[in-house]
């Protein structure tokens, strides 16, 4: 049931509007003026607000400004019996959805309320500020991540976090650490894919002075630094076969032996690993040790990519806008328009949540707001991926895509889904564009779990 808040000091007008909306299926809250409206807004989150302009205790324009400063504000329709060019201009400038002159027909009122609801996507509760480990979203797949973290955090088992680059694997590791009972201990992240294999052993196990040319002093490795806490091994799928043996040995005996040392020391540390690779598939191909895989994957948590949970986009945008405004010293307000949210929803997001954070921050730097279409478009163009509905995939080659390049399977899946979207979802056309048979495309879509994959092979869409 949609909710409305009607604000008017005229009892007759307020009741007429409220009863009309209730007869149309709305749940309606009433307020006699700006002061009562603020109290109602503390108790409820209306989907639409109808507000008189001239009232005692504060006019409707001040209420509109306060509402617009909230995260994911509802549309506001202003009403007045004393209309003027000045008030209409002020309403437009402040962000009112519409401006009605009293008296008005009931049919006009309902038409404008319906238009306001249609123009604004379903709103979510604002994401509250929280600890660094907070993960934003309420999509069912993200809720499963929350439940998995709560289920396994306090258990003494290693956890393998799977997800594409930029989905938030380290945030999951931080949540596991925080709720593990080891939260007072250190959390030490190590990006295995960013450290040359020749240095990774020293980074994790430490070294003794003189162990190699540049070892001018003793150094404690990340495993010893994380004693009593958690070590997060990000991009574990990038480590060499030689290093896999050394890591396996530690997981079996829990003894850290620094490079160049004669003896080791026992270390109590929980290991959480993350990767965007299909590690189980790598085991089958002989590129990752099976025994190490089972040592690391006492429990597996999978994080969905952003394109599979676009219902979380408004909450994520609001969250990153708040963070960006604080960092840049901008006033606190929510400015993402429905048009911008729709535009963001058409983007492919190969960089996932990390890319979204970059786009929001860049748009704030350029325009100070997120309802500036040009600033958001420019930020998207500087990102790493295309728009699903309008663009072709960027060519691979030349400059590196990122510190951790995508797998061949990820590139193929992204390319296929982009071409399919460009073909309007028609698999026959997409297959022709890709230069493959339609049955081959259907098989690849089923394997990738992509959109329309559930359709039969004889289906034309």
Parallel/antiparallel/unpaired status of strands 219-220 and 206-207: antiparallel
Q: What residue ranges define each of the domains in the chain, with the CATH number in brackets? A: 3-119 (3.40.50.2300), 140-302 (3.40.50.300), 307-381 (1.10.8.60), 408-448 (1.10.10.60)
Q: How far apart are CA 33 and CA 25, in angstroms?
A: 24
Q: How confident is the model at residue 84 (pLDDT cuts 50, 70, 90)?
A: low
Q: How far apart are CA 153 and CA 159, in angstroms?
A: 9
Q: How confident is the model at residue 130 (pLDDT cuts 50, 70, 90)?
A: very low
Residue (of 402, 438, 398) closest to 420 by Cα position: 438
CB neighbourhood size of 446 (10 A)? 14
State pLDDT tens for residues 398-454.
333 333 445 566 667 767 776 676 565 777 767 766 667 778 888 877 766 544 443
State pLDDT tens for residues 144-168.
998 999 999 999 899 999 999 999 9
DSSP collapsed to 3 states, 356-372: HHHHHHHHHHHHCCCCC
Three-state DSSP class for 324?
Answer: helix
pTM: 0.58
Residue carrying the six token digits 């299926």: 25
User: What does each C-alpha distance from 256 to 191, 204, 237, 289, 342 come to in angstroms?
Assistant: 19, 9, 21, 20, 51
Burial of residue 262, with CB atoms counted within 10 A of its CB: 0-12 exposed, 13-18 middle, 19 or more buried = exposed
Q: How far apart are CA 358 and CA 350, in angstroms?
A: 13
Q: How confident is the model at residue 110 (pLDDT cuts 50, 70, 90)?
A: confident
Q: How would you classify residue 42: left for phi > 0, otherwise alpha for psi between -120 and 50, otherwise beta?
A: alpha
pLDDT, greater one: 425 or 200: 200
CB 36 within 8 A of CB 7: yes
Q: How close are the terminal C-alpha atoms of the chain, in Å?
A: 34
**Count of residues in the chain:** 461
Q: How far apart are CA 53 and CA 59, in angstroms?
A: 5
Please give the pLDDT value at position 364.
93
Please give the pLDDT value at position 139.
85
Residue carrying the six token digits 């003494």: 156
Please give the pLDDT value at position 87.
63
DSSP E strand stretches across 138-193: 159-162, 187-191
Q: How confident is the model at residue 220 (pLDDT cuts 50, 70, 90)?
A: confident
Residue (of 389, 390, 400, 365) closest to 379 by Cα position: 365
Please give the pLDDT value at position 403.
38
- What integer best gives the mean pLDDT of the chain? 81
Q: How far apart are CA 448 and CA 414, in angstroms?
A: 10
């Amino acid at each position: 049931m949609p909710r409305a808040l009607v604000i008017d000091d005229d009892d007759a007008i307020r009741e007429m509007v409220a009863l009309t909306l209730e007869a149309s299926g709305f749940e309606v809250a009433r307020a006699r003026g700006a002061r009562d409206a603020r109290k109602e807004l503390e108790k409820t989150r209306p989907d639409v607000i109808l507000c008189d302009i001239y009232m005692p205790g504060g006019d409707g324009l001040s209420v509109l400004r306060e509402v617009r400063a909230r995260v994911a504000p509802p549309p506001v329709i202003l009403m007045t019996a004393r209309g003027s060019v000045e008030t209409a201009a002020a309403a437009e400038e402040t962000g009112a959805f519409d401006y009605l002159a009293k008296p008005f027909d009931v049919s006009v009122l309902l038409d404008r309320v319906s238009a306001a609801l249609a123009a604004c996507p379903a709103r979510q509760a604002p994401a509250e500020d929280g600890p660094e480990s907070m993960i934003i979203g309420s999509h069912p797949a993200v809720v499963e991540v929350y439940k998995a973290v709560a289920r396994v955090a306090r258990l003494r088992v290693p956890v393998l976090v799977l997800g594409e680059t930029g989905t938030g694997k380290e945030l999951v590791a931080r949540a596991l650490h925080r709720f593990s009972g080891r939260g007072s201990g250190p959390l030490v992240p190590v990006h295995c894919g960013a450290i040359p294999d020749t240095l990774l052993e020293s980074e994790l196990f430490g070294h003794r002075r003189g162990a190699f040319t540049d070892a001018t002093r003793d150094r404690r490795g990340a495993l010893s630094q994380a004693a009593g806490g958690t070590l997060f091994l990000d991009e574990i799928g990038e480590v060499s076969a030689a290093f896999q043996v050394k890591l396996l040995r530690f997981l079996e005996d829990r003894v850290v032996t620094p490079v160049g040392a004669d003896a080791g020391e026992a270390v109590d540390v929980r290991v959480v690993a993350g990767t965007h690779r299909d590690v189980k598939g790598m085991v089958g191909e002989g590129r990752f040790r099976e025994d190490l895989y089972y040592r690391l994957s006492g429990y597996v948590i999978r994080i969905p990519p952003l394109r599979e949970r676009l219902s979380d986009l408004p909450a994520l945008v609001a969250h990153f806008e708040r963070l960006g405004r604080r960092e840049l010293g901008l006033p606190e307000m929510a400015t993402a328009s429905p048009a911008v949210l729709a535009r963001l929803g058409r983007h492919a997001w190969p960089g996932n949540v990390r890319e979204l954070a970059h786009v929001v921050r860049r748009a704030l730097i350029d325009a100070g707001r997120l309802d500036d279409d040009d600033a958001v478009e420019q930020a998207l163009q500087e990102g790493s991926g295309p728009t699903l509905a309008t663009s072709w995939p960027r060519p691979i080659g030349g400059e590196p895509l990122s510190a951790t390049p995508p797998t061949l399977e990820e590139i193929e899946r992204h390319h296929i889904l982009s071409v399919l979207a460009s073909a309007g979802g028609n698999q026959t056309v997409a297959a022709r564009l890709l230069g493959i048979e339609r049955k081959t495309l259907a098989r690849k879509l089923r394997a990738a779990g992509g959109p329309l994959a559930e359709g039969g092979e004889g289906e034309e869409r």
